[in-house]
Copies of this chain bind each other. A is one copy, B any other.
Amino acid sequence: MAAPYAHMIQSATVLRKSNLYLSRYDCGKYNGKRGRPHVAFASIQQSERNISIDPKVESLLDSVKWDSKGLAVAIAQNVDTGAILMQGFANRDALAATISSRKATFYSRSRSTLWTKGETSNNFINVLDVFLDCDRDSIIYLGKPDGPTCHTGSETCYYTSVFDLLKEQEAKGSRLALTSLYALESTISQREAELAEGETGKPSWTKRLLLDHNLLCSKIREEADELCQTLENNEDKSRAASEMADLLYHAMVLQAIKGVKVEDVLEVIRKRFSQSGIEEKRSRASKKSEEH
């Protein structure tokens, strides 16, 4: 049974959106390179206003199990890639601001202020949906980042592998927390980079595909055909998964050559289909005019 939580009683004030862009912090930290530390000045400029909040939003804010400090964990996730971009904390005002502005907004515990990711870097996280967990004390901001999220310039804040540290591989450089599809994309990029560096020796299969476009295209057509055969010849499920993996891998090598990221493709898919997973966009702006 979850511990009972006392809901915080807070004033129904949120900073207007225009006031969310003032401080000189980003990723929760001051980045000296990006602007002068005019926090004191900025705070003088801030004018909180009592603005009316939709009673539905109030009710929703009441349903969150804020902790004893009025906070809940807020995780920003890339809607296309699934990458966890950063994690901060939200209070009522931060969640209300995120809902109304659709920009991921957090509460800074060290500065006791709201801050919107991107307010200094312009790399906002454009929130498409917000999810609460079963316990209602943890929040996902599902969104599309305008650029790298981390103040270091890294795509996400999670680029330090514990197992690399334990193997003392830190010197080899940071490694993002990549899920399977993006780990493969990264491998293909690595092979491209090795080729660009003029590496010699027996080339790997990926390198052969990168170098020989005829071979690559014949493999993509062959893999597509083999995937179809799993349906046509009633082959088993594991065979279909294996053929799909083959097709995806070869097609991703072509993508890499064309400079297309998996994220670009998934953005196309998201824009064709709505986020809900239920409604499909009826007006698909492509060569195919038929409905999905």
Residues on A facing B (Cβ under 8 Å): 1-3, 27-30, 54, 56-57, 60, 63, 73, 75, 77-84, 86-87, 99, 109-110, 129-136, 138, 140, 142, 150-152, 154, 157-163, 165-166, 168, 175, 177-184, 186-187, 190, 202, 204-206, 208, 213, 216-217, 220-221, 223-225, 227-228, 230-232, 237, 240-242, 244-249, 251, 254-255, 257-260, 264-270, 272-278, 280, 286, 288, 290-292
Which of A30, A249, A292 is most buried by chain B, counting CB atoms within 10 A of its CB? Answer: A292
Taking a contact as CB atoms under 8 Å apart, the answer to whether B260 and A183 are in contact is: no
A286 interface neighbour in B134, B182, B242, Cβ under 8 Å: B242
Instruction: Report 25 cross-chain contacts, Cβ distance below 8 Å, ordered by A residue.
Output: A56-B165, A73-B73, A77-B84, A81-B82, A82-B82, A87-B133, A129-B161, A131-B159, A131-B160, A132-B160, A136-B160, A140-B177, A178-B277, A181-B181, A183-B273, A204-B292, A205-B292, A220-B227, A221-B224, A221-B225, A245-B265, A245-B272, A246-B288, A247-B251, A248-B248
Q: A82-B81, A84-B140 are in contact. Are A277 and B228 (CB under 8 A)?
A: no
A133 interface neighbour in B78, B158, B178, B264, Cβ under 8 Å: B158
Taking a contact as CB atoms under 8 Å apart, the answer to whether A264 and B280 are in contact is: no
